[in-house]
Structure 1
Amino acid sequence: MNTNFFHIIKSKKELIPLVGVVSFAAVGAVAFSAYSLFSKSDVIINKTGNPEPWETIDPTRPQKLLTIHQKWKPIEELENVRKLTK
């Protein structure tokens, strides 16, 4: 199969940019998936270890890939509900 693929690429040179773009997109998708898996808090693999992982998120650390002038302040009503339920 490997020699067949290279034979097709050698005989049809117009496929080289297509193979390059598709390969670049595939590598980018895998890289971003790995980045999200290991660095984002909203991606959860083990649900049994911590049933409420959103409670441990640091609100001062941005969770988005790009954050512009985002300010965080606690909502008083939600803080009161959180205190009552614990």
Structure 2
Amino acid sequence: MGVFQTLMKKKELIPLAVIMTVAAGGASSFALYSLKKTDVIVDRKRNPEPWETVDPTVPQKLITINQQWKPVEELQKVRRVTR
């Protein structure tokens, strides 16, 4: 018996199927969205330090409220010494 045949026989399952489909689609789309973010490391061999290429002017969160970026002096000194 197929899924559609079951849904046609038991019509009360249609809202449940719709809700589950929307939830699965939303979860999948958020997972794909999260993989495109710069703070997620998928391939460490090509880019072992991806945090070095993060643009500080672009917000990295879904919701950013009053975020201002200032360079940390100690971090800048360490970068100059290690390069």
TM-score range, shorter chain: 0.7 to 0.9
Deviations 1:45-79 (A, max 9, x none): 32111111111111111111111110010111221
Deviations 1:9-57 (A, max 9, x none): 112111111100000011111112222223x111233211111111111
Instruction: Tell me which residue corresponds to 1:10.
Output: 8
> Is residue 2:37 matched to residue 1:43?
no
Aligned letter for 1:32? F
- TM-score w.r.t. the length of structure 2 is 0.86
How many residue pairs are counted as aligned between the two chains?
83
Of the three residues 47, 51, 54, the one matched with 1:54 is 51
What is the CA distance between 1:6 and its match in structure 2? Answer: 1.5
Unaligned runs of 5+ in 2: none
Partners in 2 of 1:6 and 1:49 — Cα distance? 45
- TM-score w.r.t. the length of structure 1 is 0.84
Unaligned runs of 5+ in 1: none
Partners in 2 of 1:50 and 1:9 — Cα distance? 48
- Computed over aligned residues only, the root mean square deviation of the Cα atoms, in angstroms, reads 1.4
Runs of 4+ residues deviating >4 angstroms: none
Of the three residues 51, 57, 81, the one matched with 2:78 is 81
- Identity over the aligned pairs, expressed in percent? 57
